[in-house]
Structure 1
Amino acid sequence: MKLTQYLVLGVLALQTNLFLAEKANASYAAFYQETTPPEDSTSKAPENWFHLDKATDNIRGVSSNKAYELLGNKPSRTIVVGVIDSGVDIDHEDLKSVIWTNEKEIAGNGVDDDKNGYVDDVHGWNFIGGKDGKNVDADTYELTREYVRLKKKFDGMKKIRKKDRAEHSYYEEVKKEYERKVTELKDQYNDFQKFAEIYKIANSLIKTQLDKEGEITAEDLEKVNATDEMTKQSKAVLAYALENSITEKYLEEAEEYFNKGLKFGYNTEFDPRSIVGDNYQNLDEKGYGNNDVKGPDPSHGTHVSGIIAADRKNNLGIMGIADNVKIMPVRAVPNGDERDKDIANAIYYAVDNGANIINMSFGKDYSPNKEAVDKAVKYAESKGVLLIHAAGNDGENLDEARNFPTRKLQKSKDEAKNWLEIGASSWGDNTNFVGNFSNYGKSSVDLFAPGVDIYSTTPDQKYENKNGTSMAAPVASGVAALLMSYFPELSAEQVKDIVIKSVVKYSDAEVNKPGGKKGETISFTDLSITGGIVNALEAVKMAQQITTQK
């Protein structure tokens, strides 16, 4: 197809509201929310908006700055927050002073000095690395792993035995879902490629006319003298892109997302587990991995860590929520789905090495070894460790949809009492009140926390905005850590209770429905158990009342 034909195709689709980008952009955003732009692209929140106060600043932050004003010179203790994630850049200028150190371990001597089962774990542990120092970067999705496992068992089986019928039924469900997801992703990628080509042509033409490098802005488009049909069409394409916050960088990230899914996530031939060198079938195995807590791609974990604990006193970059915290990096989340065995061991490691809170900004649709994770969750509960989990980024109702791990225990049917489930709120008006990507649930999500356009630390001394419930969970973890730090007499269960009861409620707010169509609304009270947003100031006030009464 000629280049001009691509442009004609793009404009015709635009005119009929079937623009190829709409499908490509929507599908990409549904799976990779942390780099998607905020819904309200007409304005920008302050970089520190999640610290701000609704009454003073007219922004729905968590009032952390005002909380510290109220605390005054009250003494505090150091709290350890385990960050189970992709890895953490422990040398970042805004994090290096707040990284946990295992004082019982002698760095680099190749000996397990503290006899905890992990050699040279000076700053944490990496459960997806090998003894030779190599690391898992990308991995498959759990859906793919289940499909491969069950396909080996059932394909070619002429007669399904009675004892295998339930598992075979599960296989049929997995197979159907896997095939649907792969077909859907390939179709989306095809649509995306068509739009990306249209955008590339239009962008090049407009840049040439303006003699400009860098991103085209709305102001730039106003200067374009569209006298011929090609220029008019190019201008229309870029105008649509700007309205939907689609940029060159965004398209690069989308390309990376689609390639990751097709090359790794849904690739039945890809299995990097041999790098780790463990007996994967032995769920009780411990001690595997290495001490490289940074890993090949620590962007996600570094961002999460900065939200919780970036140095508040060094006059650099940003300030985290909590001011007397140590971050314990536990690497267990690849570019793909985490594995249950690794998550269970990561929880045990964090608990046994002194974590008071564990932040878990990850999740997946299938959990074949959920009982192993449940045992670790119950262990954390028995040791008084609070677990804070991101609700996920699929725009789904968790009262109905799956997102693992979960507080619901498979064997006993009970619920873990040390668990908080967090959705993502935003900073705009009611049309941008919550992250459009955020999972929610009136019975399953406890509360919301800032998770849109969150500015925090990224590797190599950098800072970036990211979106996701992955960002909301560490905001809540930071507030919980602040309470534990300044009110040491409170138990983890009491801290959880205060965080829940002290939320700022918006009972009358009709807000954008996550995952809904543009303009579709829902009562904010229907999105979570509390119908509120976490608030450090209100939490401190409540903690003061409780501890004074003792």
Structure 2
Amino acid sequence: MTNCIRRIGVGLIIVLSALSLEVSAQTSVEENNEEPAKDWFILDPTTDNVQGTSVEKAYSTVLKDKKSKTVTVAVIDSGVDIDHEDLQGKIWINEDEIEGNGIDDDKNGYVDDRYGWNFIGGKDGNVKEDTHELTRVYVDLKAKYGDKEENKVKKKDKKEYQYWLKVKKSFETDYNKALEQYEFYAKLHKNIKRYNKLLKLYLNVDSLTLDDLRSINTNDSTILEARNWIGIIFQNVGENPDFDQLDEELGEAEEHFGNQVNFAYNTDFNPRTIVGDDYSDPYEKGYGNNDVKGHDPSHGTHVAGIIAANRGNDLGIKGIADNVKIMVIRAVPDGDERDKDVANAIIYAVDNGAQIVNMSFGKSYSPQKGAVDKAVKYAESKGVLLIHAAGNSSKDLDKSNNFPNRSYEDSKEEATNWLEIGASAWGENADLVGSFSNYGKHTVDVFAPGVDIYSTTPDNTYESFNGTSMAAPNTSGVAALLMSYYPGLTAYQVKDIITKSARHFDNLKVTKPGKDDLVDFKSLSIYGGLINAYEAVKMAESMSIDKGN
């Protein structure tokens, strides 16, 4: 599942809060009411008064007039709009592959992989929606245990049976919660739309005002009910609510939770037949197709723009790295990605020359973790840096699962080429950490900008998203910057520089994600800081000088 949160208007959240709805992280809003500069994530706290990455400061000082080499960053995601105006010249091209000839020209096992590969597609189309991994685990274990009583379970299966009971409880709880939210949003959406239209007709006005509501004097129960519903909007949003915007946002919320019920938690839904692989074989290669856009490349396009949007074309935004190519690998549907696809995506990236792999996705279960671990070890052996989003559940990853991760299954070993990234906001105050962000003193390395990040979206558009999905590519962009201007650096050295050069805040107390408590910012990650491109570049420059380069 992509670790991204679409922006939804403040008004809607206030209304839902007033109606005592538990708002999911999927509909979270920016951390406070201020609006930062659209490019705040590349700016500097000293000169711009925002907690950005200080990328612009690095370019205007240490990197000024320096030469760089091209770095390839693989973006494993939902797909990327490779035709976007602000990504022109920034998409990796497999020069050894002739486009559209139906032949595996470079004999890498993938036919016509000119711009990358799609592991969730087949000859007849692409996977759009998919289930959560929890659902898939639930279905598999239910087939084995169903309603079997514990005293009838074989001794060798006792441990798995206990796991089944845990999975069963989690699935039923999550499904019922999604169903409840779907029904609530559907009812709210229908009523607000219906009653807004009804009152406008009753009052003969083009748009409703608070005075209009106050003028209603009737015993008609339907009109009074309509007045009560619409009154909630005025009471919580103010005297000038945008009903068109509310209608759009409520529709999005209804659709989101509808997808949860109809696809993510639907035990009868299985889109995998589209791919046509042998799903029982986690080490199978060569399946998929070359459609790197997919049906909705919004998330991947946004991620790619943060890393690589053209810095010199006076369009849209400036990406972080100025000499970078994005290798597009599609493996993330509307639902949870599958371990097999993640493993193959990492291997594809490594085999085709990526130096950095950005992974802005995650899930709570990983039944084929062994296959992913093998791919991570392969990337580690080839010196490829893996950067992963910590997730948007406001959870402590020291106590909760978020896969993939750096820890190897059934081992105390950890990948040395891994960075786990939490999301930060722009102000140096209690709201510095994104309220949705996962954290962990022993699991999350550092934080990076992930609130109100403005970047590329399909069809030459731009939007602001929130999420650790945005924090990860901020880090990948800085990593690419370092490798580009200091090509002698290894993946481990880049990781070391990024973590050691992080910006620290003495005694800063921040709101703990998901809580009202104030905690030390440094307690939320291993290195206790925010990525800082300027200091990272200075450190890399110092290392380069020491080596006589």
Same fold (TM over 0.5): yes
Residue of structure 2 in register with 1:7 after alignment: none
Residue of structure 2 in register with 1:483 after alignment: 482
Q: Relative to 1, partners in 2 of residues 1:177 and 1:233: Cα closer, same or farther, differing over 3 Å?
A: closer
- TM-score, normalised to structure 1's length? 0.89
Give the partner amino acid of 1:160: V
Give the partner amino acid of 1:144: T
Q: In structure 1, which of residues 509, 512, 527 is the aligned counterpart of residue 524 of structure 2? A: 527
Residue of structure 1 in register with 2:382 after alignment: 383
Q: Is 1:544 the equivalent of 2:505?
A: no
Q: Is 1:163 the equivalent of 2:156?
A: yes
Residue 429 of structure 1 deviates from its aligned partner by: 5.4
Residue 432 of structure 1 deviates from its aligned partner by: 2.7
Residues 70-119 of structure 1: CA deviation (Å, up to 9, x unaligned): 21011000000000000011011111310000011111111111110001
Structure 2 unpaired stretches of 5+: 1-13, 218-223
Aligned partners of 2:306 and 2:474 also within 8 Å: yes
Q: Distance in 2 between matches of 1:242 and 1:128?
A: 45
Residue 162 of structure 1 deviates from its aligned partner by: 1.7
Residue of structure 1 in register with 2:236 after alignment: 240
Q: Distance in 1 between matches of 2:87 and 2:48?
A: 27
Residue 489 of structure 1 deviates from its aligned partner by: 1.1
Residues 179-226 of structure 1: CA deviation (Å, up to 9, x unaligned): 11111112222333344345435655787779567xx9xxx76x8773
Residue of structure 2 in register with 1:10 after alignment: none
Q: How does 1:258-273 map to 2 (within 5 A)?
A: 258-273=257-272
Residues 110-150 of structure 1: CA deviation (Å, up to 9, x unaligned): 11111100011000000000023x00000000000001011
Q: Relative to 1, partners in 2 of residues 1:139 and 1:513: Cα closer, same or farther, differing over 3 Å?
A: same
Structure 1 unpaired stretches of 5+: 1-13
Q: Distance in 1 between matches of 2:110 and 2:358?
A: 21
Q: Distance in 1 between matches of 2:154 and 2:442?
A: 38
Residue of structure 1 in register with 2:441 after alignment: 442
Q: Distance in 2 between matches of 1:392 and 1:23?
A: 22
Residue of structure 1 in register with 2:300 after alignment: 301
Q: In structure 2, which of residues 207, 211, 214 is the aligned counterpart of residue 226 of structure 1? A: 214
Q: Relative to 1, partners in 2 of residues 1:248 and 1:242: Cα closer, same or farther, differing over 3 Å?
A: farther
Q: In structure 2, which of residues 170, 181, 184 is the aligned counterpart of residue 177 of structure 1? A: 170
| Secondary structure, aligned partner of 1:437 | coil
Q: Relative to 1, partners in 2 of residues 1:450 and 1:241: Cα closer, same or farther, differing over 3 Å?
A: same
- TM-score, normalised to structure 2's length? 0.90
Q: Distance in 1 between matches of 2:326 and 2:401?
A: 29
Q: Relative to 1, partners in 2 of residues 1:89 and 1:397: Cα closer, same or farther, differing over 3 Å?
A: same
Residue of structure 2 in register with 1:498 after alignment: 497
Q: Distance in 2 between matches of 1:356 and 1:526?
A: 30
Comparing 57-66 with 160-169, which one deviates more in the overlay? 160-169
Residue 526 of structure 1 deviates from its aligned partner by: 1.4
Q: Distance in 2 between matches of 1:251 and 1:283?
A: 39
Q: Relative to 1, partners in 2 of residues 1:366 and 1:241: Cα closer, same or farther, differing over 3 Å?
A: farther
Aligned partners of 1:210 and 1:224 also within 8 Å: no
Q: Is 1:343 the equivalent of 2:350?
A: no
Q: Distance in 1 between matches of 2:158 and 2:256?
A: 36
Q: Relative to 1, partners in 2 of residues 1:97 and 1:397: Cα closer, same or farther, differing over 3 Å?
A: same
Residue of structure 2 in register with 1:358 after alignment: 357
RMSD: 2.4
Residue of structure 2 in register with 1:75 after alignment: 67
Q: Relative to 1, partners in 2 of residues 1:206 and 1:63: Cα closer, same or farther, differing over 3 Å?
A: farther
Residue 282 of structure 1 deviates from its aligned partner by: 0.8
Residue 247 of structure 1 deviates from its aligned partner by: 3.3
Q: Is 1:121 the equivalent of 2:126?
A: no
Residue 348 of structure 1 deviates from its aligned partner by: 0.1
Residue 549 of structure 1 deviates from its aligned partner by: 1.1
* Percent of paired sites with the same residue: 57
| Secondary structure, aligned partner of 2:464 | strand
Q: Is 1:99 the equivalent of 2:91?
A: yes
Residue 413 of structure 1 deviates from its aligned partner by: 2.1
Q: Relative to 1, partners in 2 of residues 1:242 and 1:323: Cα closer, same or farther, differing over 3 Å?
A: farther
Aligned partners of 2:18 and 2:236 also within 8 Å: no
Q: Distance in 1 between matches of 2:46 and 2:198?
A: 47
Q: Distance in 1 between matches of 2:105 and 2:45?
A: 49
Residue 239 of structure 1 deviates from its aligned partner by: 4.1
Residue of structure 1 in register with 2:44 after alignment: 53
Give the partner amino acid of 2:112: D
Aligned partners of 1:87 and 1:295 also within 8 Å: yes
Give the partner amino acid of 1:478: G
Q: How does 1:11-30 map to 2 (within 5 A)?
A: 19-20=18-19, 22-24=20-22, 26-27=23-24, 30=25
| Secondary structure, aligned partner of 1:505 | coil
Q: Distance in 2 between matches of 1:392 and 1:498?
A: 23
| Secondary structure, aligned partner of 1:534 | coil
Aligned partners of 1:205 and 1:234 also within 8 Å: no
Q: Distance in 1 between matches of 2:29 and 2:293?
A: 27
Give the partner amino acid of 2:386: L
Q: Relative to 1, partners in 2 of residues 1:505 and 1:204: Cα closer, same or farther, differing over 3 Å?
A: farther
Q: Relative to 1, partners in 2 of residues 1:67 and 1:429: Cα closer, same or farther, differing over 3 Å?
A: closer
| Secondary structure, aligned partner of 1:186 | helix
Residues 313-368 of structure 1: CA deviation (Å, up to 9, x unaligned): 11111111100000000000000000000000000000000000000000001000
Give the partner amino acid of 1:122: R
Q: Is 1:136 the equivalent of 2:127?
A: yes
Residue of structure 2 in register with 1:419 after alignment: 418
Comparing 149-158 with 353-362, which one deviates more in the overlay? 149-158
| Secondary structure, aligned partner of 2:76 | strand
